[in-house]
Structure 1
Amino acid sequence: MSALTLSQAISSLKDKLCQLAKLTPAEPIVQLAAEVQAIPLISWLASQPSYPRIYWQGRDRLEEVAAIGSCLDFRFEDEVTDEALAEVYETQRAYSSNQEIRYYGGVAFDREIASWPEFGRARFLLPRIELRRSSDYFRLLVNLNLGQGDQQQEIAQAQAALDALVPARPMTPPTKTEQLSRNDRPDYPRWKTLVEQVTAPRFNQDTPKVVLSRLTQLQVKDTPDPWQVLASWQGRNPNSFQFGFEFSPERSFISCSPERLYRRQQQELYTEALAGTTIRGLSPEEDERLAQQLLDDNKNSNENQLVREHIVKALTPLSRYVGADETPTIFKLNHIQHLHRSIRAELRHGVKDFQLLQALHPTPAVGGLPRESAISFLRQREGYMRGWYAGACGYLNKYESEFAVAIRCALLEPGCINLFAGAGIVAGSDPQAEWQELENKLATIMSILLDF
């Protein structure tokens, strides 16, 4: 059967909903699907009138999802305990045996303190509508939660969501916005003090790494469309995860992150140590020279090795086998390049995603080492609330899950763009060089947003 047009796929799904109304499903969560012709997902998502709106594209670009609405929403405004995350995991497993059912969301960097409005300290939801691309295969999906009461009402709400869908409008590049003011938290004098505190021998001997970060708030004349910004960002940094969460029109969070937290396929797990940074060269020869300098640099090599050792140690109790690259390779982005080591594990039977999130997040690449003392330092002295920046964002289901580390990201609010960047501070770190690293990490998104 050939793929349907969008309108034909909507009609097909509405017919299936009518048939469902005559049945008593065996499970509370039901998903209906129709193959559809190729559609530009991010343009389609930006065209829809409904919220929440969620976007996800894997780093290998083989899979892409645009999702709208919600039929099951787990939202944590208060402290997120391991038990609470376990309940989410067990609920989604109990509600359906369908391996295609996915819950999308994220966990804040620090689950023990307040987070952004609407996002909470953690939030996972089952969308009402999904448009999924796997390579060149597109499907339109509708999800129903029949476990909370009136089946006919749930079907009617699903039909209404399908009726509200509109075709994709052409996506244009974002209009450059006018910057009215800029505020850095911390500012450079405070940053210099923090770096000196972290590198002081008495502190550094017990806490060898702290990832300091900076919030750059841009007051702007007009807030750009988040999906236009993310689409442009995709083109600049293709070797990245791209994702976005817009739970309401007031606030959107987008990221073009190079860093995988983990990918799980049943009991196979893939993760990485991504730490150590330098700029890209202006010529192939200079680029190669800078890459070799990064590989040879003791400070950056030590930083990456610390991350590798921590991840292997964290995974060992959960795994039958853990293997990690002994030497780093270079991972190149548009403006910068990183040291990278791949890590693989075969998980023990029964290990769950909430255990992996607890063990791996926050990674030393965004928090520090040891985790507890580094995060304690950040809570007391960094001077702003990270929210979902440096958190974990992705999806989970019974068969597989994937989470990216939410770096290279932006929180867009009316009249304000919040940009985030961090740098790993270890013995030998120079405050001015680390401050410049923050600027390098923001270079791509700043060039998309602003005229210089």
Structure 2
Amino acid sequence: MPSQIFSEQFSQLIEKLNAMKLAVAKEPIVQISVEAKSIPLLSWLGAQTQYPRIYWHGREKQEEIAAIGACKDFKQEQEIDDELLSSLYQSQRGKSSNQDIRYYGGVAFDRTVECWPDFGRTRFVLPRIELRRHGTIVKLLINLDFENNSQVDECDAAIDAIKQLQPAKPLSPPNKLPLMGRSDLPNYQRWKELVEQVTHPKFNQTTPKVVLSRQTQLEINDAVDPWMVLACWQGRNPNSFQFGFQFSPDRTFISCSPERLYLRRQKELFTEALAGTTVRGLNQEEDDFLAKQLLEDTKNSYENQLVRQQIVDVLTPLSNYIGADESAKIFKLTHIQHLHRSIRAELKAGVNDFQLLQGLHPTPAVGGLPKQSALSFIRQREGYNRGWYAGACGYLNKYESEFSVAIRSALIEPGRINLFAGAGIVAGSDPLAEWQELENKLATILSILVEL
């Protein structure tokens, strides 16, 4: 076996798979698992040669997943039919009673336009192999699709995947990269024009908020280990979601996002309004002063309240009960701090995850208000394709699902790193101040990648 640390677990799994060839499967999708020893999951993931490679780390730090390969793979290249996706997902839910079956993936920010290569407008994968840590418990999981494949073929494919596993190895050292060039799209002049268009009284009267964003492209000559970058980012912003999707060797999307789209536990839903930003102070006194200023700032408070109200309005027809914080609190990250309101709902019977994704995403914190008017402006004027930036990434499960909004993210390609940041534009927004907010939001990842 290539990895001695799991040799006993591999033997157990292969024994179970060989026995399963002769058994009668009770369900179309089957998962087998064994308990495993704890290892650094990002180091293990970075050493693997099978694709996709997927990483997920919850904001509460209790759960961490590294997964490879695809047992099932749902990818939508063309414009999305939400009814089709919803029925597809509902049918998948009925194919296993196992509470650990999960589909990891995401939906693009704007599913009406073409997305990045590999990623699709929507893509969800049931991995072939998962290492899943919850607290101190680690499980090695194998997923099997007996609906579309014979039991013998599927078990043999899983055994082959196990035999290709590589031992974890240290991630490459975090050396700063020589920067060959940088470009911003839109550039500052175009950004200023866009902010002035959004804040014009006639436009603002019907569309009170548009979240404008920028793609910063860093041109490099050196190869970049995306999992090393994500590990460093994770160390700088530990109270964020950390996740990555690498569907081929050419492109990896990574994110260290503070924002939850929602967490669903059966009928109970948790979401939040995260909007309104300032920097951190150089000391505790200055930090507290800046936080107090943010709480009292009219523009930022209005922006956060807009987000809260829109989420409540979307959830009202889907819920029996909704509770939302009346006043905002401070949510602190390494370089910046946000206004934050928690929202909880009890969902009506039969409400599914695709209804939630369709209703909640894109949130006003990344799109604007009203949703369609703001999205139309972004689509026509912003000047680049956001792809999965500001999309929804996470996992679907019959009993529990969780998604993060993919802000603070990067798309790593050969010779180029694409960074993304956005700012909510409302009446009174100043173009230069909002441009600086974009720089503040990129400060952590830029400090990891290049000499500032």
With structure 1 as the length reference, what TM-score do the two structures score? 0.98
Whole-angstrom distance in 2 between the partners of 1:246 and 1:9: 26
Whole-angstrom distance in 2 between the partners of 1:81 and 1:154: 30
Determine if the alignment matches structure 1 residue 62 to structure 2 residue 37: no
Whole-angstrom distance in 1 between the partners of 2:135 and 2:117: 35
Whole-angstrom distance in 2 between the partners of 1:352 and 1:90: 8
Q: Which residue type is aligned with residue 32 of structure 2?
A: L
Q: Which residue type is aligned with residue 247 of structure 1?
A: F
Contact kept in structure 1, 2:20 and 2:151, CA below 8 Å: no
- Cα deviation, residue 97, structure 1: 1.2
Name the residue aligned to 1:343: 343
- For 2:337, what is the secondary structure of its paired residue? strand
- Cα deviation, residue 5, structure 1: 4.4
Give the gaps of 5 or more residues in structure 1.
none
Taking only aligned residues, the RMSD between alpha carbons, in angstroms, comes to: 0.9
Q: Which residue type is aligned with residue 231 of structure 1?
A: A
Whole-angstrom distance in 2 between the partners of 1:338 and 1:223: 34
For residues 92-107 of structure 1, what are the structure 2 equivalents within 5 Å?
Answer: 92-107=92-107
Whole-angstrom distance in 1 between the partners of 2:24 and 2:180: 58
Whole-angstrom distance in 2 between the partners of 1:39 and 1:360: 36
Contact kept in structure 2, 1:175 and 1:224, CA below 8 Å: no
- Cα deviation, residue 88, structure 1: 2.9
For residues 34-53 of structure 1, what are the structure 2 equivalents within 5 Å?
Answer: 34-53=34-53
Contact kept in structure 1, 2:51 and 2:247, CA below 8 Å: yes
- For 2:210, what is the secondary structure of its paired residue? strand
Contact kept in structure 1, 2:221 and 2:415, CA below 8 Å: yes
Whole-angstrom distance in 1 between the partners of 2:107 and 2:342: 23
Whole-angstrom distance in 2 between the partners of 1:223 and 1:420: 20
Whole-angstrom distance in 1 between the partners of 2:84 and 2:71: 19
Whole-angstrom distance in 2 between the partners of 1:81 and 1:365: 24
Whole-angstrom distance in 1 between the partners of 2:410 and 2:224: 12
Name the residue aligned to 2:76: 76
Contact kept in structure 2, 1:92 and 1:397, CA below 8 Å: no
- Cα deviation, residue 127, structure 1: 0.1
40-49 vs 147-156, which moves further? 147-156
Name the residue aligned to 1:425: 425
- Cα deviation, residue 222, structure 1: 1.1
1:286-345 CA-partner distances (Å, limit 9, x unpaired): 000000000000000000000000000000000000000000000000000000000000
- For 1:302, what is the secondary structure of its paired residue? helix
Contact kept in structure 1, 2:172 and 2:225, CA below 8 Å: no
For residues 243-262 of structure 1, what are the structure 2 equivalents within 5 Å?
Answer: 243-262=243-262
Q: Which residue type is aligned with residue 403 of structure 1?
A: F
- Cα deviation, residue 219, structure 1: 0.7
Contact kept in structure 2, 1:223 and 1:412, CA below 8 Å: no
With structure 2 as the length reference, what TM-score do the two structures score? 0.98
- For 1:295, what is the secondary structure of its paired residue? helix
Name the residue aligned to 1:395: 395
Name the residue aligned to 1:285: 285
1:417-443 CA-partner distances (Å, limit 9, x unpaired): 000000000000000000000000000
Contact kept in structure 2, 1:318 and 1:347, CA below 8 Å: yes
Whole-angstrom distance in 2 between the partners of 1:339 and 1:88: 37
Whole-angstrom distance in 1 between the partners of 2:412 and 2:5: 33
- For 1:285, what is the secondary structure of its paired residue? helix
Name the residue aligned to 2:301: 301
Whole-angstrom distance in 2 between the partners of 1:173 and 1:337: 29
Name the residue aligned to 1:436: 436
- For 1:232, what is the secondary structure of its paired residue? helix
189-198 vs 166-175, which moves further? 166-175
Give the gaps of 5 or more residues in structure 2.
none
Whole-angstrom distance in 1 between the partners of 2:252 and 2:361: 22
Contact kept in structure 1, 2:323 and 2:344, CA below 8 Å: yes
Whole-angstrom distance in 1 between the partners of 2:445 and 2:258: 14
- For 2:180, what is the secondary structure of its paired residue? strand
Name the residue aligned to 1:113: 113
353-362 vs 87-96, which moves further? 87-96
Name the residue aligned to 1:411: 411
Determine if the alignment matches structure 1 residue 159 to structure 2 residue 149: no
Whole-angstrom distance in 2 between the partners of 1:20 and 1:434: 59
Whole-angstrom distance in 2 between the partners of 1:272 and 1:104: 21
Whole-angstrom distance in 1 between the partners of 2:173 and 2:390: 27
Q: Which residue type is aligned with residue 207 of structure 2?
A: T
Whole-angstrom distance in 1 between the partners of 2:331 and 2:85: 32
- Cα deviation, residue 85, structure 1: 1.9
272-281 vs 41-50, which moves further? 41-50
Whole-angstrom distance in 2 between the partners of 1:286 and 1:428: 25
Q: Which residue type is aligned with residue 64 of structure 1?
A: E
